[in-house]
Amino acid sequence: MKIYLGSINDQVWDVTESDFVILDPTNLTNQGKANKQCNTIALNTIYNAIDSKVFEQIKDCGRASEVWKCQTHILRTK
């Protein structure tokens, strides 16, 4: 999955591996807009790749980095 997310765009993997901060959601910078878009792409990609049981456990995570950490933990404890 790491390779796939990185192949979409390096920044898609970057926001998945490391969280990002948006200081003012009402006044996004260009970087903030790019991070938000890459986060959405990463979430969609991960959601489409996991089974429904894992999805139920991670569906409330709002950022790709949270989903990545949570699903990695779930899969390692199986």
Place of tokens 């009402």: 26
Q: How far is CA 1 from CA 42, 51, 71, in A?
A: 10, 14, 12
Task: Dump the DSSP string for 41-60.
Answer: HHHHHHHHHS-HHHHHHHTT
**Structural domain boundaries of the chain?**
2-76
C-alpha dihedral (68, 71, 74, 76), degrees to nearest 10:
-60
State how far the Cα of 53 lies from the Cα of 7, in Å rounded to an integer.
26
> pLDDT tens, 20-42?
888 888 999 999 999 999 999 99
Q: What is the pTM of this model?
A: 0.87
> pLDDT tens, 40-77?
999 999 999 988 988 898 889 989 999 999 988 887 88
